[in-house]
Amino acid sequence: MSEGATGSDVGLGVGLAAAAIVAIGAVVMFAGPSQIVTAGGFGVAMIAAILSVSAFHLFE
């Protein structure tokens, strides 16, 4: 396996893991019982989304 393919696989794995965290944050955001929990879910979703996009660009 070439070095480029390994880097691409790492980017894909990290990006998909962060995307899964985005989905969890979105569920917390919409199902949170209080405004502070909703805000926390939004924050987690936004940070994980930034990390996901960054991982795809960094390792591609």
pLDDT band at 46 (very low <50, low <70, confident <90, very high): very high
Q: Over the stretch 10-45, which tens digit does the pLDDT of each residue have?
A: 888 888 888 898 899 888 888 888 999 999 989 999
* Sequence ranges of the domains in the chain: 20-60
Q: Which residue has the higher pLDDT, 60 or 30?
A: 30
User: What pTM was estimated for this model as a whole?
Assistant: 0.74
Which positions ≥6 away from 22 have C-beta within 8 Å? Answer: 45, 48, 49, 52
Note whether 48 and 26 are within 8 A (CB): no
- ∠ Cα 25 31 33 (to 5°): 115
